[in-house]
Amino acid sequence: MGDVDVMYYWSTDLAIPRGHRPPTQLPAEFHNSVQVHEIIDSHLPGYVYLELRYLLTECIDDDKYSAVEYEEQVYFQQDRYPFADTNYIHGPAVISGTSLPAPLLPIDTVRCVRCLVWPSQAVDWPSRRRHYGWPDSATVNCVVANGCDVVPVAHRQCRQHKWMGDYQWRLSFLRAEIVLINSWMPVQQIVYHMLRVFAKTGRLTYHADSCETLTLNNYHIKTLMLWACELKSKSWWTDGLNLVRICVQLLRILGDWLTDAYCQHYCQHFISNLKTHSK
C-alpha cells in the first residue's frame, strides 16, 4: 500500500468533443444546470483547452435538458486547489496527508471534467489492428462507452507560459485503463502485483542517495504491463508458465526504458500511433 488515488468531477460541468451536439439526457448524478465545454486541440497531442459553449437546463416535465449557446468565447481555467490543507502538486494531482502519522495514507486527489463520449482525438483507436487480439472487441466497446476525462495540467513545455499554464488541460484515459486491467488473465494480474511488490520492497521506488526522491512508482509498472499485454501473445504468458521468468523479462524491458530515459505513457497510445517498446 502506498497511497489512495481519488478522481472526482463536479456535477455542474461537462466536456464534449468539438462540433458535438450537446446532450439532451445526462446521468442522474448531474445537476439540473450544467455548463458544457467544447474540447479544443492545442498544438500538442493529448493536451487541450476547454471552451464554454452551452448551458444545459433540465426540464422538469420530461427530465431532458435544453441547451442555450453562449455567444462569448470563454476558456475554462484550471482549478486544482479546492482544499486548504493540501501539501503539494504533482501533475494534475493534489497530494495531501503526507505529513499525517501512520497508518494514515497520503491521498492523491485529481479533479476532472467528464466527457461522456469517446473523444475525436482517439477516433482511430477502437478499430486499430491488434496483432494478438488484446484487448478484444467486447473490452474495446466497454472502453469506448465509458468516454474519457479531462484533467487540469499543462504540458511541461507550457507550464511557465502565462496563459497556457493556466488554461491547458490533458485528456485522461484512466477509465479506459481500469477496464483494460480488469480484462487481464489471472497470470497477468499476478505478475502485475508481483512487480509492484518487488519494486517497493526492492527499493526500486527510491533514489539510492535519498529515500525521499522517487525514481520509479506504480505508474511505471502499470505502463509496463499494459504495453506487455498488447505486444505479447497469449502463449508468451501461458506456455510453460513461470512467473519468475515473466517478471525477469519484463524487468529487462523496464531496464531498457531506464537506460533510454524514455517511458511512453500508455494513455498516449489512444491518441497516437503505436510505438513498440519490447523486443
Cell of 148: 474519457
Helices (H), 89-167: 137-145, 164-167
pLDDT, tens only, 164-217: 999 999 999 999 999 999 999 999 999 999 998 888 776 565 444 444 444 677
- For residue 277, the model assigns a pLDDT of 39
- For residue 56, the model assigns a pLDDT of 97
Cα–Cα distance, 255 to 259 (Å, whole number): 6
Buried b (16+ CB within 10 A) or exposed e, 256-277: ebeeeeebeebbebbbbeeeeb
pLDDT, tens only, 123-165: 988 988 888 999 999 999 999 999 999 999 999 899 899 899 9
pLDDT, tens only, 6-50: 888 999 999 999 999 999 999 999 999 999 999 999 999 899 999
Residue 276 has pLDDT above 50, yes or no: no
Segments of 43-147 assigned E as strands: 47-58, 65-75, 88-90, 93-96, 107-115
Cα–Cα distance, 84 to 96 (Å, whole number): 10
- For residue 118, the model assigns a pLDDT of 95
pLDDT, tens only, 93-124: 555 555 445 556 667 778 899 999 999 999 98
Residue 212 CA from chain centroid, whole number: 25
Question: Whose CA is closest to 202, among 183, 222, 221?
Answer: 221
- For residue 264, the model assigns a pLDDT of 74
**This prediction's pTM:** 0.81
What does pLDDT average to over the chain?
83
Q: At what angle do helices 186-201 and 243-260 cross, to 10 degrees?
A: 60
Cell of 208: 539510492
pLDDT, tens only, 250-275: 999 988 888 887 777 776 678 854 34
The proportion of the chain whose per-residue pLDDT surpasses 90, expressed as a percent, equals 56
pLDDT, tens only, 224-245: 999 999 999 999 999 988 999 9
CB atoms within 10 A of CB 203: 12
| 3-class DSSP assignment, residue 8 | strand
Domain spans, the chain: 1-176, 184-279
The answer to whether 89 touches 95, Cβ cutoff 8 Å, is yes
- For residue 245, the model assigns a pLDDT of 94
Q: How many residues in total does the chain contain?
A: 279
- For residue 271, the model assigns a pLDDT of 82
Beta-bridge partner residues of 23: none
* Residue for grid cell 521506488: 205
